Structure 1
């Protein structure tokens, strides 16, 4: 429940600008990228790791999971924004700062020295997923800062 003494409740609730066209494009991009990653991983689960040995194989697996985590986290945030814009939840319910901080520790990392051995299509997906995640994480941090101010 919203706290009436909360700064965002004085006069009116926190108003976002995420409902404008860039949000819609970001949502569409996230959905498309999530489907594209699923299709790539399904089609290349074993083939993309063929020829990789030991730590390189494990590194690729970890980076594929990190990419998936980035996409899922970005999509979850965008769905939360959509729910707020539809009046289904409040901004305070959409932001979980503790979860965001844990996710940032996992999703921001990109310590992948062996990435040069990854297939170009995977590298492209990883780069786009990272970019999308960073944009959505910045949006969520901005809202979190306003909600907790």
Structure 2
């Protein structure tokens, strides 16, 4: 995360150099959040009951999986952007219009209001993962729109 990233050119094309700095900061944030989530889930593994024991335990398991899915999908998109920037693939190959992040309802839905019983730490991670996911999804939509124009 301490790497220097090249500055984005003033006239960045979606076919060549798309806002490298913007994506770099988002990538660093995603990586940090992924590590935080891993550490949280690892540290609290023993405190979780078996999923079938209560509705609250099932809800917590579901929300942890939703958070993890958001982080994985966002990180996948950001790694794809890095591959484009490294010249490994083109933008047209990077965007799958049949599988956009905005189409994944389970990640778009925000159920935090029904999860007040969860720990403040988990709620914070869930909120940040949702925000990151939505920003990555918007970036993907922007690129998809320009590539298909």
CA distance in 2, matches of 1:96, 1:48: 37
1:102, distance to aligned residue in structure 2 (A): 7.1
Give the conservation status (yes or no) of the 8 Å contact 1:60–1:118.
yes
Give the conservation status (yes or no) of the 8 Å contact 1:18–1:81.
no
User: Residue 85 in 1 paired to residue 85 in 2?
Assistant: yes
Bigger proportion of residues as helix: 1
1:114, distance to aligned residue in structure 2 (A): 3.5
CA distance in 1, matches of 2:85, 2:25: 15
TM-score (norm 2): 0.82
Structure 1 segment 32-71 matched on structure 2, within 5 A: 32-47=32-47, 54-71=54-71
Residue 3 of structure 1 is matched in structure 2 by none
Residue 18 of structure 1 is matched in structure 2 by 19
Residue 5 of structure 1 is matched in structure 2 by none
Larger RCO of the pair (alpha carbons < 8 Å, separation 6+): 1
Provide closer, same or farther for how the CA distance between residues 148 and 41 of structure 1 changes in structure 2, counting only shifts above 3 A. Answer: same
Aligned length: 136
Provide closer, same or farther for how the CA distance between residues 128 and 34 of structure 1 changes in structure 2, counting only shifts above 3 A. Answer: same
Q: Which moved more, 1:102-111 or 1:77-86?
A: 102-111
Provide closer, same or farther for how the CA distance between residues 74 and 134 of structure 1 changes in structure 2, counting only shifts above 3 A. Answer: same
Residue 108 of structure 1 is matched in structure 2 by 108
CA distance in 2, matches of 1:62, 1:100: 22
Aligned-residue CA RMSD in angstroms?
Answer: 2.2
- Residues 96-130 of structure 1 deviation map (CA, whole Å, 9 limit, x = unaligned): 12222575312011235541000000000000000
